[in-house]
Amino acid sequence: MIMGLVEEVFGVEKPIIGMIHLKPLPGTPGSAKLRDVLDLALKDAENLVEGGVDGLLIENLFDSPFYPDKVPPHVISSMTMIAWEIRKRYDLPIGVNILRNDSEASLAVASTIGAKFIRVNVHIGCVVTDQGIIQG
């Protein structure tokens, strides 16, 4: 059943999903201007699409240290703007993952931009990570 859903979303049985790891968003230590983060994300998306990926996953990987649960509104708004700009340019399935484990924020961004999926690092149970214990 899962494989049928994957093929339905991506058009292939075993898709290659290209990762767009965003540079630190405004409000994060070491952050850049939002425009600079967007420009790098768009370049990554362009390179991945030209390389033949079947989908894209946008993630705030460099927003360390991560919030253990819910992220603040500025992360959600920045992710939404960047994801929307990528979505407008490419007709591929796009997913969202807001770290460290904010599934509700990921779903909100995905719903707003018309993304096809989200990634949740810890859905159930709990995991010990470099950022502490993360509960699903």
Kindly list the domain boundaries of the chain, sorted by start residue.
17-135
pTM of this structure: 0.88
pLDDT of residue 128: 63
Strand pairing category for 55-59 and 94-97: parallel
DSSP for 16-85 reads -EEEEEPPPPTTSTT---HHHHHHHHHHHHHHHHHTT-SEEEEE-TT-PSPPSSPPPHHHHHHHHHHHHH
Give the chain's residues under pLDDT 70.
1-3, 122-136
pLDDT of residue 58: 99
For the CA atoms of 33, 38, 40, 42, the dihedral, rounded to the nearest 10 degrees, stands at: -170
pLDDT of residue 120: 80
Please provide the CATH number assigned to the domain covering 17-135: 3.40.50
